[in-house]
Amino acid sequence: MLQKIKNIFFLGLKELWGLLRDPLMMGLILYTFTVGIYIAATAAPDSISNAAIAIVDEDDSPLSRRIGDAFFPPMFLRPERISLPEVDPAMDRGDYTFVLVIPPDFQRDVLAERQPEIQVNVDATRMSQAFTGNGYIQQIVMDEMASFANSSNLTSYLPANIVIRNRFNPNLTRTWFGAVVELINNVTMLAIILTGAALIREREHGTLEHLLVMPVTPFEIMVSKVWSMGLVVMIAVAISLSFIIRGLLQVPVEGSVMLFMMGTALHLFASTSMGIFLASTARNMPQFGILLLLVLLPMQMLSGGMTPRESMPEGIQWVMQLAPTTHFVEFSQAILYRGAGLNVVWLPFLLLAVIGTVLFLISLSRFRRSVAQIS
């Protein structure tokens, strides 16, 4: 037993030394957990910026002019006044993202409490601005109408006031969300890539055959790759979380970092085993890359990091319960965003441990068969 532990330890050191001598892999790790996370967190703006807007004011009343004056930089460019026949040609040319059409007698209808309508034309090809700006425009128009109604003593116009409080991210800062989600995705990607590439590299260089003539077993070879590559990712996660996410990006971490790292270790156990399985199935690095895309992209898109799982079809929700990324995303968001403790995240921890064990056993069986074919 002691000899097996020594073999696993020294084989792992060999993997670490081989990784240090691979500048491409080292560059990938460095970029992924530093520049990659920073770009993913800051590329999408927190709010709409410099959106082109035009207003068709057929009422030309104090209220309509008040609404027009409410749009100003930096969210919107200064509104341009255009006529109604100019709307379609301007939208066809892509001159404006939004065009507001204020109908005639708008102020009179508001004072009479007839609830008139303002038409908002949106260029939906500008997806990010169209989605975000539509809500801002509605809020701005409603605020100006409410202010005008209050100044005109229309007490029945807005009978209730809605107070919104955002928990865990009061200002809806996208940087907070983007940084953590990118870290979660990169952990899975790097774990699979490093273990799979290490195995394929040995097969292509012929060093795997050298290992097979030594007094080591496939189990020892596989475990050495799992712990060594998992350790590399763990160190990268700790550095990225401390210096990039909490330091440079100023993202607050509410929960226990140690608890998150424990969960990350469980996820690495599962994802590195998956990397061994894919590398044992592929014959070369291009095939491994194709398999990686087929497996990694669905897991990242359907695990709940980008879209809440509750909004997905029920069948997909059940299938994704078998994916380790689903439970990794669940407890990572709970710990880092909401400050959850072990009493809250024990179930995803347990499920991830079970899934990792099953993946490890399946990967070990596949690895043994591939080794038997070589020998």
Over 50: is that where the pLDDT of 157 sits?
Answer: no
Would you tell me the crossing angle of helices 218-239 and 257-281 to the nearest 10 degrees?
Answer: 140
Instruction: Look up tokens 């040995």; give the residue.
Output: 202
Over 80: is that where the pLDDT of 47 sits?
Answer: no
pLDDT in tens, 206-219: 777 666 667 788 88
Question: What pLDDT sits at residue 328?
Answer: 94
Question: What pLDDT sits at residue 172?
Answer: 65
The total of other beta-carbon atoms located within 10 Å of residue 244's CB is 21
pLDDT in tens, 228-273: 999 999 999 999 999 999 989 888 888 899 999 999 999 999 999 9
Q: Say if residue 30 is in the same domain as residue 67.
A: no
**Res. 340 pLDDT band, cuts 50 70 90:** confident
% of the chain exceeding 70 in pLDDT: 91
pLDDT in tens, 243-253: 999 989 888 88
Q: Say if residue 214 is in the same domain as residue 302.
A: yes
Task: Please report whether residue 166 resides in a domain.
Answer: no
Task: Please report whether residue 93 resides in a domain.
Answer: yes
Calpha distance 256→49 (Å, rounded): 35
Domain that holds residue 327: 2-43+173-374
Over 60: is that where the pLDDT of 163 sits?
Answer: no
Q: Say if residue 233 is in the same domain as residue 323.
A: yes
Q: Say if residue 37 is in the same domain as residue 80.
A: no
Instruction: Look up tokens 């273990």; give the residue.
Output: 195
Task: Please report whether residue 156 resides in a domain.
Answer: no
Q: Say if residue 179 is in the same domain as residue 326.
A: yes
DSSP 8-state assignment for residue 23 = H
Kindly give the residue spans of alpha helices, DSSP state H, lying in 152-284.
174-205, 207-212, 218-239, 257-281
Calpha distance 32→9 (Å, rounded): 27
Indicate the SS3 state at residue 54: strand
Over 80: is that where the pLDDT of 159 sits?
Answer: no
- What is the chain's mean pLDDT, rounded? 85
Task: Please report whether residue 164 resides in a domain.
Answer: no
Q: Say if residue 146 is in the same domain as residue 178.
A: no
Task: Please report whether residue 167 resides in a domain.
Answer: no
**Res. 50 pLDDT band, cuts 50 70 90:** confident
Tokens for 95, please give them: 């001159």
- The pTM score is 0.76
Task: Please report whether residue 160 resides in a domain.
Answer: no
**Res. 199 pLDDT band, cuts 50 70 90:** confident
Task: Please report whether residue 163 resides in a domain.
Answer: no
Question: What pLDDT sits at residue 156?
Answer: 47
Nearest residue to 193 (alpha-carbon basis) of 64, 110, 257, 289: 289
Calpha distance 328→184 (Å, rounded): 8
Count of domains forming the chain: 2
The total of other beta-carbon atoms located within 10 Å of residue 138's CB is 12
pLDDT (mean) for 280-301: 88
- Residue 121 phi, psi dihedral angles, 5° rounding: -95, 130
Over 60: is that where the pLDDT of 348 sits?
Answer: yes
- Residue where a domain stops, chosen among 119, 151, 183: 151
Q: Residue 121 sits in a domain of what CATH number?
A: 3.40.1710.10
Q: Say if residue 219 is in the same domain as residue 109.
A: no
Q: Say if residue 199 is in the same domain as residue 306.
A: yes
Calpha distance 279→289 (Å, rounded): 9
Instruction: Taking the CA atoms of 264, 269, 272 and 277 in sequence, report the sign of the dihedral they define.
Output: negative
The total of other beta-carbon atoms located within 10 Å of residue 77's CB is 17
Task: Please report whether residue 162 resides in a domain.
Answer: no
Question: What pLDDT sits at residue 271?
Answer: 94
Q: Say if residue 20 is in the same domain as residue 63.
A: no
Q: Say if residue 362 is in the same domain as residue 277.
A: yes
The total of other beta-carbon atoms located within 10 Å of residue 186's CB is 22
**Res. 180 pLDDT band, cuts 50 70 90:** confident
Q: Say if residue 210 is in the same domain as residue 294.
A: yes
Q: Say if residue 216 is in the same domain as residue 109.
A: no
